[in-house]
Structures are given as C-alpha cells and as structure tokens.
Structure 1
Amino acid sequence: MDVVADAVEWFTEHVPDGWFEGPLEVIADREELLVVGRLAAGTSPKRFREATRDARVAIARPAEVRYDRAVSWAVRVDDQLVRFSHLSVPVMTRLRVEERHVLDLLIEGGIARSRSEALAWCVRLVGANESAWLDELREAATKLAEIRSRGPAC
C-alpha cells in the first residue's frame, strides 16, 4: 500500500471543507504522518490552530490507528511552513573521529549546542542543497521496491 497516497485520500475525506486552499499534502516516515494544508492569504495560523484543535485531534485519532503512526499537523502560509506539532525522534549512529570532529566544530562555532543538534543541522543542509540528488535516489528506491515486489517469494 502506498501510505502517502492512501493518507492523502483518507485525510481529504475527513478534513472539513473550507479549512485549506488546494489539496492536502502528507509527508510520511516510519513514525509520523505530517498533514499539511495551505491557508488562505491573511489567515492567522495561530487562530486556525486554536479554532481547529479539537477537530484535528478527533481526525488524528483514527488515522493513528489506521496507519500505526503519530499524526502531526502543519500549515503553509505563503512560503512558510508552520508546524503545530511534530515528533522529534532520536536516531542512533556510530561516527568515526573525523566525523565527530565535524560535529564538534559546529558546536565550537556556535552553530549547534550539541552533537545531536549538529547532526540535525547537517541533515537539513543536505536536504536543502541536494534535493535533485535526493529525488533521484527516492525514484531509484521506489523502482527497486517495485522490482522486489515482483520477485520470488522467500
């Protein structure tokens, strides 16, 4: 099942008309679904958040069961993404001394307060500056998953 496509369809059916302009966007990983809608120009994200809180929680509960993931919400206002909630998931990694030096330099330079924050900064930097390469990698991974699904059952 394509979780994102299914979730877009499911949330589109359950989100009240008039909340957002245009189609919903769903960003997913193993732990979380981030539901993003575009607000009409001049709409206050803070007021929208307060006015829709109970309804968003009521919509999220069955979705969390259906998709076995936390549901978070955000809105787009102009070019800005305003998150109402999100998960911050710890990720364990092993780094060699040279890699740790990079993180420590980011701390010493005031870019980050911890190695964890420095690593998150590095990930955001790659995401922002290598989007074409990441898109190509994502397409290759999708193609590989399709080929594997047609292969022999183990």
Structure 2
Amino acid sequence: MTNTANSAIEAWLTGRIPTDWAAVAPPSIVIDREEITVTITVEAPVLADDASDADRAESVAGRVSGFREDTRDQRIGIARDAEHRFERKVAWAVTVGDHTELFTHIAVPVMTRLRQPERLVLDTLVAANVARSRADALAWCVRLVGEHSDDWLAELREAMTAVDDVRAKGPDAA
C-alpha cells in the first residue's frame, strides 16, 4: 500500500468523521491491507481527587460504553461507506485517558512456514498454558516483539515511507 493511498483514506475519514468526535484530539487512523482502525479520543471523566482506582476505572468504563452506544449508528454508517469505497473493513476504538478499548476488529489468518525449533517454541507456550493453540502462541509472540521493538519498527516504517515517496516520483512502470 502506498502512502498516497493511505493519505487518501485518512483524508476521507477525517472529512467524514463528525468534528465533535475530534474535540479532544484528531482521530488516529491505522491502515493495513485488510483493515482500517479508527481510534477516537474522548475526555476522561472528572472525579474527586480522593476517588479510588476502582472508581476511576469504572468511570472510564462508563465513558467508553457511553461513547460506543451513543455513536453506534454513525460509526456503522461511516464504516459502511469506507468499506465500500476502500475495500477494507473498518474497526473502531476509543481512548479515554491512558485506556484504549477496541470495539470491533477482524482477525486475519496468516499462513507461515515454521521449522521445528520455531514450532517447539509455540508448543512450549501451549503446554505451559500461556496460549491455547499454536495460532494464539504466535499472536502472543508477535505482540511481545511489537511491544519491545516499538522504536525499531517505527524507524523501519519511516524508511518504507521514504521508499514509497521515491517510487511515487519515478517514471510509470506501465
């Protein structure tokens, strides 16, 4: 996927999302080949300074639930239009303070070939009840790498963006 295509998707969604949803921060839009994830940031509820952590967690849960229910019809309409226009599923999330909750998303099967040492790693995770299956174990490994390699992955994505920009300036392959 080129940056130009991603830019067009982001621009369309930015224009389509109601402005009051972007009152706290602009929506975060993450795009891959199968899915577009839109994260909306809403204001955290204000509680007394002496509120317990449990009360704060409940207030955030209430804010998330309220946003989800109050915006359901609009989100469905936007997603339907975007899915038709860009041929990708749309997932929604909301951020309240430092808590982000994903409402809808897809799990895409990914085919891979692993040699015995890699399979043994997955089987160990399954045997230790860290994961229910090899697929869950592999997803766990990918999440772990993503958490511990954020800076490196960000640098890699920036380099890929630069390559896309250079390609876009080159002669047509046709």
For the criterion TM > 0.5, the same-fold answer is: yes
Selected match of 1:7 from 6, 9, 18: 9
Deviation of the 1:77 alpha carbon: 1.2
CA-to-partner distance for each residue in 1:15-46, whole Å, 9 max, x for gaps?
22322421011011000000111011126111
Change (3 A) 1:16 1:145: closer
- Report the TM-score when normalising by structure 2: 0.81
Residue from 86, 90, 107 that aligns with 1:67: 86
Give 3-state SS (helix, strand or coil) of 1:26's partner. strand
**In 1, Cα distance between equivalents of 2:95 and 2:64:** 9
Q: Which residue of 2 aligns with 1:28?
A: 31
Q: List per-residue Cα deviations over 1:85-132 (Å, max 9, x = no partner).
A: 001101010000000000011111221010000000010011100011
Higher relative contact order (CA 8 A, sep 6+): 2
Compare CA radii of gyration and give the structure with the larger one. 2
Where structure 2 has 5 or more consecutive residues not aligned to the other structure, the ranges are: 46-59
Gaps of 5+ in 1: none
Amino acid at match of 1:18: D
- The 3-state SS of whatever aligns with 2:38 is strand
Residues 7 and 83 (structure 1), Cα distance of their counterparts in 2 relative to 1, 3 Å cut: same
Q: Hey, which of these two has a bigger chunk of helix by percent?
A: 2
Alpha-carbon distance change, 131 to 145 in structure 1, aligned in 2, over 3 angstroms: same
What count of residue pairs does the alignment treat as equivalent? 154
Task: State the distance in 2 between where 1:16 and 1:47 align.
Answer: 16
What secondary structure is seen at the aligned counterpart in 2 of 1:22?
Answer: coil
Equivalent residue for 2:129?
110
Cα distance change of structure 1 residues 17 and 139 upon mapping to structure 2, 3 Å threshold: closer
- Give yes or no for the alignment of 1:124 onto 2:143: yes
**Matched ranges for 1:28-47 at <5 A:** 28-42=31-45, 44-47=63-66
TM superposition score normalised by structure 1:
0.91
